[in-house]
Amino acid sequence: MKKHLLALSITLAFTSVPGILHAQGNLDAGKQKSASCAGCHGQDGNSQLPTYPKLAQQHASYLIQQLKAFKEDKRKNPIMSPLAKTLSDEDITEIADFYAAQKVSVNPDPILNADDEDEAADDKTKKSVTVESLVAQGGNLYRNGDIQRAVSACIACHGPFGEGNKPADFPALKSQHADYLIKALKDFKSGERSNNPENMMHMIAQKMTEEEIKAVAYRISTMK
């Protein structure tokens, strides 16, 4: 019995070591190939500018999907489409694996934009908006959705911690920049971004108000 176990563990050791080396090889290749992306997305996929999405810790399958969509002009973006056309399928897989293996950085606490305060000041009937109230509103929408208006709860697909759902290819959202999340949700709402064949996000975002989009984006940006 013991002998069998020993034999098994030796076999495993021999089969897994080249496997690990191979994976490491791909990660190194992915890191090198991502050099041209680092200026915008950060060396480890944690972009500094809030309009450039973080790619760190994102599911590789989702990154591959999006890069192929840019490449085929299904997801339209004047910056990303030409860049993606320079990548082979192998480049895309290696770069995606590299970003997926990085850790997403935590954001500083959100601050209120001047226009949020203006809106509250203009409209005396409105309760004054604070970051806390927006984040709480967004947290409620994320967890519960809005049953009356048939806005699905984000948690169902993007997970309790914003970690997404790897087998289902639902992207991770946690610690993403709020500005990028707002743009993504507005693009889904308007139909500008519609590369997913099921178009689930369009169905959801078209029912959301601008305030809800902002609130849920702020909440997601604080998820760790």
Residue nearer to ligand HEC on the CB measure, 36 or 121: 36
Task: Please give the structure tokens belonging to residue 100.
Answer: 């997926």
Position 219 contacts ligand HEC (CB under 6 A)? no
Query: Do 65 and 59 contact (CB within 8 A), yes or no?
Result: no
Instruction: Identify which of residues 17 and 79 has a Cβ nearer to ligand HEC in the complex.
Output: 79
Say if CB 174 and CB 163 are below 8 A apart. Answer: yes
Taking CB under 6 A as the binding criterion, the range among 6-14, 16-24, 100-108, 179-187 that sits at the site for ligand HEC is 179-187
* Distance in angstroms (rounded) separating the CA atoms of residues 60 and 27: 12
Indicate whether 53 belongs to the interface with ligand HEC (CB under 6 A).
yes
120: contact with ligand HEC by CB under 6 A: no
Q: Does 196 bind ligand HEC (CB under 6 A)?
A: yes
Q: Is 40 in the site for ligand HEC (CB under 6 A)?
A: yes
User: Rounded distance, CA 200 to CA 193, Å?
Assistant: 11
> Which residue in this structure is represented by tokens 């972009």?
47
Q: Does 131 bind ligand HEC (CB under 6 A)?
A: no
Residues 6+ apart with CB under 8 A from 142: 153, 154, 155, 158, 216, 219, 220
Q: Does 170 bind ligand HEC (CB under 6 A)?
A: yes
Site string for ligand HEC, 80-119 (x = CB under 6 A): x--x---x-------x------------------------
Of 5-13, 114-122, 123-131, 147-155: span binding ligand HEC (CB under 6 A) = 147-155
CA 141, CA 177: separation in Å to the nearest integer?
A: 18
* Residue whose CB is less far from ligand HEC, 129 or 180: 180
Q: Using CB under 6 A, pick the residue from 158, 174, 177, 214 that binds ligand HEC.
A: 158
Closest C-alpha among 217, 222, 223 to residue 141: 217
Give the list of residues 6+ apart from residue 151 with CB closer than 8 angstroms, or none.
141, 145, 204, 207, 208, 212
- Residues 193 and 188: their CA atoms lie apart, in Å, by 5
Where along the sequence are the contacts to ligand HEC (CB under 6 A)?
A: 36-37, 39-41, 51-53, 55, 63, 65-67, 77, 79-80, 83, 87, 95, 141, 151-152, 154, 156-158, 170-171, 173, 181, 183-185, 195-196, 200-201, 204, 216
